[in-house]
């Protein structure tokens, strides 16, 4: 649709096949602005088990798919600055309207729509006059991908630890049996999550596997308020 923009505000943590499909479809009709959500505290991005990958890594994922597409832009304007509580409750809080202004700052088109597959988010976008279009929920969620990533990371860490113990005990027979079993398990899990994300995104994830290992072993420091997820670090200060 000529001279009309599409705003895509999402976590994108990580980008899935569904995200790629949605963005590609929007780009057929609109100038697409992608806004991966960012949480900042004292000028530092806050990441958690729910939000493991930084904005820069998510941007790299998106560029691996859409670099060179003139009608697709990736912007860091969907930004919550601590204390996050000041953005609540939505609509009522003046800071939530400041957030809206920041999102629209670099949108050059006068006409725009926004996209979400979540009913509650669509209601919020409508109240913020961001003109959401009706859409279905994602076929593949980032949450599914993350859980499979964490399962694989934990299994690999356990395998490495067990292999080291077996090696130290010089128990070669047990080592071979365990290795065969673990590789089969890892192959199944790895195939599952890799099938849910574009190949170039999978490569970015593997390049940053230490992040997956870090959060696989951590508790989730995220809180949900008014249907919105925030890191607990920075919620009040």
List Cβ<8 Å contacts ≥24 apart for 178-182: 182/155
- 54 in any annotated domain: yes
Residue 31 buriedness (CB in 10 A; 0-12 / 13-18 / 19+): buried
The domain boundary residue, chosen from 133, 163, 189: 133
Record the tokens describing residue 13, joined without a space: 């943590």
Whether residue 203 sits in one domain with residue 113: no
pLDDT band at 139 (very low <50, low <70, confident <90, very high): confident
Whether residue 208 sits in one domain with residue 151: yes
Return the pLDDT at 166: 65
Give the number of residues written for the chain: 237
Return the pLDDT at 164: 65
Whether residue 125 sits in one domain with residue 59: yes
Whether residue 214 sits in one domain with residue 155: yes
- 189 in any annotated domain: yes
Give the whole-angstrom CA distance, residue 123 versus residue 131. 10
- 229 in any annotated domain: no
- What are the backbone dihedrals phi and psi of residue 218, each rounded to the nearest 5 degrees, phi first? -115, 160
Whether residue 16 sits in one domain with residue 92: yes
Number of domains composing the chain = 2
Q: Which domain holds residue 194?
A: 142-218
CA 173 to the chain's CA centroid: 42
Give 42-74 pLDDT, tens digit per residue: 999 999 999 999 999 999 999 999 999 999 999
Under 8 Å between Cβ of 8 and 114:
yes
Return the pLDDT at 169: 63
Whether residue 87 sits in one domain with residue 163: no
Share of the chain above pLDDT 90, in %: 75
- 49 in any annotated domain: yes
Q: Which residues pair with 33 in a beta bridge?
A: 7, 73
Whether residue 150 sits in one domain with residue 113: no
Whether residue 128 sits in one domain with residue 64: yes
Task: Please tell me the least confidently modeled range out of 53-57, 110-114, 131-135.
Answer: 131-135
Share of the chain above pLDDT 70, in %: 86
Return the pLDDT at 135: 82
Mean pLDDT of 157-162: 78
Give 180-205 pLDDT, tens digit per residue: 433 444 444 445 899 999 999 999 99
What's this model's pTM, rounded to 2 decimal places?
Answer: 0.87
Query: Greater confidence, 227 or 7?
Result: 7
Mean pLDDT of 129-151: 90
């Amino acid at each position: 649709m000529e001279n009309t923009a599409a705003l895509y505000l999402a976590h994108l943590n990580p980008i899935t096949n569904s995200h790629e499909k949605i963005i590609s479809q929007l780009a057929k009709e609109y100038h697409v602005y992608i806004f991966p959500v960012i949480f900042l505290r004292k000028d530092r991005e806050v990441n958690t088990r729910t939000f493991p990958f930084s904005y820069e890594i998510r941007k790299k994922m998106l560029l691996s798919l859409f670099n060179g597409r003139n009608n697709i832009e990736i912007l860091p304007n969907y930004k919550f600055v601590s204390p996050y509580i000041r953005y609540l409750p939505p609509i009522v809080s003046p800071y939530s309207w400041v957030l809206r202004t920041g999102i629209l700052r670099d949108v050059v088109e006068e006409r725009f729509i926004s996209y979400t597959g979540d009913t509650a988010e669509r209601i919020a976008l409508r109240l913020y006059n961001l003109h959401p279009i009706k859409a279905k929920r994602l076929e593949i969620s980032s949450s599914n991908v993350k859980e499979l990533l964490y399962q694989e990371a934990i299994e690999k860490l356990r395998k490495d630890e067990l292999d080291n113990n077996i090696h130290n005990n010089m128990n070669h027979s047990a080592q071979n049996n365990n290795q065969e079993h673990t590789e089969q398990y890892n192959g199944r899990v790895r195939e599952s999550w890799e099938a849910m994300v574009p190949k170039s995104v999978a490569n970015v994830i593997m390049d940053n596997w230490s992040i997956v290992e870090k959060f696989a072993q951590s508790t989730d420091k995220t809180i949900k308020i008014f249907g919105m997820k925030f890191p607990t670090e920075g919620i009040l200060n």
